[in-house]
């Protein structure tokens, strides 16, 4: 069965430090992969998506993610974190190749120290 | 362009009642998906509609139902509410093809 694992429940980084959030998925074929961010009381905002092609994907707010098929990973990175990046981050994979039916990881909560 | 609009934002209901949540997708989007978010189960897929047809349904009991209208607006209904139905219900829309989902801010349902 398809699944998404985000191993880190909570991460704290200092403002200005680099960030990497981990995501592992299980899916036999080339997956549709997404990263979303959720601020308290809000819905999900799409950061970036991978459908095919270049394995390094650029998103909004300075985020990027790299698709590594051999490791079944799609880790999210940002070179310098801002206090406004504090939020919860969700990795998702399209179920059965669907873009509307997503399987989400449990999320990683990011705290930013001044 | 306006985003996905969900109404109401907050709702308090009593066990056994039923509730209807509404979603207006982004203009031009033809597909609407619904998700339930709880602290214990996380984000779980409920249904997906495209051009008024249900394309996919998640693993939820029959008390959860939905529909999509010809203008792409969607509603979901939960009958015979249980305490465990307390959650944030998120609606998302997309144009179709390879376009990704765009989410609304959700409806927070509390069942007492």
Chain B nearest CA to A108, separation (Å): 11
* Token representation of residue B64: 């959860």
Mutation target among A23, A35, A44, A87 for the B interface, most CBs of B within 10 A? A44
pLDDT at A43: 93
CA–CA dist B63, B20 (Å, integer): 12
pLDDT at A92 over 90: yes
The band of A39, judged by pLDDT with boundaries at 50, 70 and 90, is: very high
Q: pLDDT averaged over chain A?
A: 94
DSSP characters for B31-55? Answer: EEEEEEEETTTEEEEEEEEETTEEE
> Scanning the structure block, which residue is given the tokens 């981050």?
A89
Judged by a CB distance cut-off of 8 A, whether residue A103 touches chain B is yes
* Residue A73 falls in which region: left (phi positive, over 0), alpha (psi -120 to 50) or beta: beta
B69 class by beta-carbon count within 10 Å (0-12 exposed, 13-18 middle, 19+ buried): exposed
Q: Is A80 on the interface with B (CB under 8 A)?
A: no
| Residue B96, token pair as written in the block | 């179709």
Cα A43 from Cα B1, distance rounded (Å): 17
Omega of the bond leading into A64 within 30 degrees of 0 (cis)? no
pLDDT band at A99 (very low <50, low <70, confident <90, very high): confident
CB contact under 8 A, A41 and B105: yes
Length of chain B: 112
Interface of B with A in 2-61 (CB under 8 A): 4, 31, 33, 35, 42-45, 48, 50, 55-56, 58
Task: Round to whole Å and give the CA distance between B37 and B23.
Answer: 16
Number of Cβ within 10 Å of residue B9's Cβ equals: 11
Whether residue B103 and residue A45 make contact (CB cut-off 8 A), yes or no, is yes
What span, in angstroms and rounded, lies between the C-alpha atoms of B63 and B22?
A: 16
Give the B window 63-92 contacts with A, CB below 8 Å: 90, 92
How far is B91 from B63, CA to CA, in rounded Å?
18
Residue A10 touches chain B, beta carbons under 8 Å: no
Average pLDDT over residues A75-89: 98
Could you give the 3-state DSSP secondary structure of residue A65? strand
pLDDT of residue A52: 85
Give the residue ranges of chain B where pLDDT is below 50: none
**pLDDT the model gives residue B75:** 98
Residue A80 reports pLDDT greater than 90:
yes
pLDDT at residue A5 greater than cutoff 90: yes
């Amino acid at each position: 069965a398809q699944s998404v694992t985000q191993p880190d429940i909570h991460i704290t980084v200092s403002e200005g430090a680099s960030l990497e959030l981990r995501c592992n998925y299980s899916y036999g074929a080339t997956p549709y992969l997404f990263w979303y961010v959720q601020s308290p009381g809000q819905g999900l905002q799409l950061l970036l998506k991978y459908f095919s092609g270049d394995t390094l994907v650029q998103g909004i707010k300075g985020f990027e993610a790299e698709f590594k098929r051999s490791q079944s990973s799609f880790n999210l990175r940002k070179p310098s974190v801002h206090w406004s990046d504090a939020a919860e981050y969700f990795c998702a994979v399209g179920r059965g190749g669907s873009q509307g039916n997503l399987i989400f990881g449990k999320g990683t909560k990011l705290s930013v120290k001044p | 362009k306006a985003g996905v609009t969900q109404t109401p934002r907050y709702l308090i209901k009593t066990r056994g009642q039923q509730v209807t949540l509404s979603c207006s997708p982004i203009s031009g989007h033809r597909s609407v998906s619904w998700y339930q978010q709880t602290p214990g189960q996380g984000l779980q897929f409920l249904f997906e509609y495209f051009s008024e047809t249900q394309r996919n349904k998640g693993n939820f009991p029959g008390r959860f139902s939905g529909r999509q209208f010809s203008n792409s607006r969607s509603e979901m209904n939960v009958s015979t509410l249980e305490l465990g139905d307390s959650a944030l219900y998120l609606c998302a829309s997309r144009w179709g093809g390879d376009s990704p989902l765009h989410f609304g801010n959700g409806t927070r349902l509390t069942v007492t």
